[in-house]
A and B are shown apart, each in its own frame.
Chain A
Amino acid sequence: MYTKEYREEELCGWGNYPCTHGNVFRPERIADLSEILSKERMTVLARGGGTSYGDASINADGLNIDTKRLNKMLHFDSSNGILHCQSGVTLQEIIRTFLPRGWFLSVTPGTQFGTVGGCTACDSHGKNWKDGSFSSYVKGFNLMLHDGSIIYCDEKNNSNMYYATFGGMGMTGIILDVCIELKNISSSYVEVETVRFNNLKELFDLIQESWNSYHYLFSWIDSHKEGNNMGRGILQRANHVNDGDLHYTERKRISIPFNLPGFVINRYSVETFNALFYTKASFDKNRKRLHLMDYFYPLDGIADWYRVYGRKGFLQYQVAIPNDNAFETISDLLKIIARTKLGSTVAAIKPILKSKGLLSFPINGFTLAVDFAYNEETRQLLDELDRIVTSNGGRVYLAKDARLNADNFAKMYSESLLEWETVRKEYGVTNIFNSLMFNRLRGFK
């Protein structure tokens, strides 16, 4: 057998910040991976689609395991929708294979280019907040530890590792294959109703009103509006339709061929866009039928989205705030964001439901996500927002993060962080799996 070597590659997150070079190995067989791990002394990190926004999938001074070629589907049980597949299978591959047969992902994040392994490690969530997050549908998985040994984790076997891996951001081992439960559907369309709202209060009322009758809820808000119109925007609520029209066609992707100059995203361009977008919604039919691909993955149509923000890339700040003080806290955050005018065109609010992973992001409450072009001013603003989020029992979503500090991380995830560390120690993986993100966050006490 030929010698297995590493390749130096540029490693970036979805937001193109940070970007760095690192050693990558891309196994084609499980045996390739166990061979490397059994003799490797560097720290290791699994990297799937690279669709986390910041530095979660980058291991700058260790070894990055590119899992994209570990993408075989191993078993599918059509009686219960459980798919057993390797971790490098992308959500797109699952949709392409199963949508025409009437199955869809039970929970999906906003991109189809993520992998099953990545969604498990991040415990991604979607627009169907009532259904929980990705981990709610992960029945079990095989995890490779530092020495190349493999353990099976589910609610009964190695259950502490099972819960530690959801939201564990790859720090518990390399997820090899996952059993996930798909959802039976009878059409590849959803019926979407679009409703405009004038401020945050109206949005919360609308969400309340929609809880029971809509499966998917998502709202876009204008992060620049202050005063009475603060938090104005558009709510999309949707349900599956039952017309039996099941089909999948590959969408063409438009590519942004180069980085736009940094000044393209500025206060005025964002405000103009936001105003047009808000106005346009009133002309749209308020009920329309949308293909699942167009509803769930609107940004996937544009390759290299980060280039809109210029060379430096962008940050997304996504936080979850507990129900009790969600409205007040999100108001406070929006007030500050609107004052600085740093927010970009993408800003969203959704309800969210507590998940089972030790470090899973979702809690019972609401989540706010805002994009910012990367710069020093943004960093300072986000540090300020962290303080508000922390003191209100909220937390930052690590899959989107590139700048949270160790102290705030420890406060936000204090509920189960120590337990998580204990599990990692028990399995001897503490100093083996690492990432740029964890380098930053590991200083916690």
Chain B
Amino acid sequence: MNVLIIGASSGIGKETAHVFSQKGHAVICSSRDQKELEYLVSDLKIRYGNSAYAVPLDLTDRLSIKQFLDDVYKIYKKIDCIVVTAATMPGNEMKYYSEEGLINTTMTNYIGIALILNVISQHMVNNNSGIIICLSSVAGERGRQSNFIYGASKSALITYLQGLRGMLYRHNVQVTTVLPGYVDTLMSYGKIKGSLAVSPVYAAKKIYSLIDKKRNTVYIPPVWWLIMKIIKSIPETIFKRLKL
């Protein structure tokens, strides 16, 4: 398979690149940090001996996305599978009304990703096959006062993917939304107890197992399905009083 991974330089994306490469697939690794991408690609080639490519991408730069897609389709005639793990979270020191935080977060977590999927999904429709696995977050399922700029971008992505799923269903294209809870990456590092989080290797293996499963929405780890059921069932009049 020809696989494209968006957000590959660290965390879940990096481990996903490892799993796919180890299983013998060709991978294109994308993220902002070109140097780290080159390191990753060398690493994959040395360890597993399969093709791997680095194509840098800045999701906040709308105009560069077309160039990115051209570069990708120069390497692959056809993308069989795209896994999107890229995300950003406004820093703690950033107030919710920070313009920069809002635009940066929404561009990276929603608009940039949607721009890419808009194009790639067209190609998949034309080929009448393809797999889209896109990570959103459990934070996108309910707005919480502590993290709603991030949550809103993830929520937009969930809604976008729901629509896309319906659109591509009859064209034999799988669209799976992955909702991770706590994963032990730099995004959660130091903010939560390490023991509450699952490893990115676990998350990557789960993601790999979703290929051809036609699942719609998947929680990683599965216990988050239950946790979110409970959180979503709290009436808003009570929820707004909770310091979550």
Please report A residues at the B interface, Cβ cutoff 8 Å. 1-7, 9, 25-32, 69, 72-76, 86, 97
Contacts and interface: CB of A to CB of B under 8 A. Distances in A.
A2 B186 contact: yes
Nearest to A72: B43
Interface in B31-46: 33, 35-36, 39-40, 42-43, 46
A4 B93 CA distance: 11
B33 A31 contact: yes
A4 B194 contact: no
B44 to A, nearest CB: 9
A27 B90 CA distance: 18
Contacts of B88: 1-2
A338 B120 CA distance: 73
B3 interface: no
B190 A6 contact: yes
A28 B93 contact: no
Given A28-B186, A31-B33, A73-B42, 11 more contacts: A1-B91, A3-B92, A4-B189, A6-B190, A9-B194, A27-B186, A28-B11, A28-B185, A29-B33, A72-B39, A72-B43
B101 to A, nearest CB: 11
Given A7-B189, A7-B190, A28 B39 contact: no
Contacts of B187: 2
A27 B89 CA distance: 17
Contacts of A3: 91-93
A170 B191 CA distance: 27
A72 B194 contact: no
Interface in B112-144: none
A73 B47 contact: yes
Interface string B160-203: 00000000000000000000000001110111001000000000
Contacts of A73: 42-43, 46-47
A129 to B, nearest CB: 30
Contact of B43 (A2, A4, A74): A74
A30 B40 CA distance: 12
B189 A26 contact: yes
Contacts of A31: 33, 35-36
B10 interface: yes
A29 B190 contact: no
Q: Considering the complex of A and B, which 10 residue pairs feature the smallest CB-CB distances, nearest first?
A: A5-B190, A28-B10, A3-B91, A72-B43, A2-B89, A7-B190, A73-B46, A72-B39, A29-B36, A73-B43
B9 interface: yes
Contacts of B154: none
Contacts of B190: 4-7, 25
Nearest to B93: A3
A74 B41 CA distance: 8
A97 B89 contact: no
Given A86-B39, A97-B46, A28 B89 contact: no
Contact of B10 (A6, A7, A29): A29
Q: Which residue, B33, B35, B39, B88, has most C-beta atoms of chain A within 10 A?
A: B39
B42 A5 contact: no
A74 B39 contact: yes
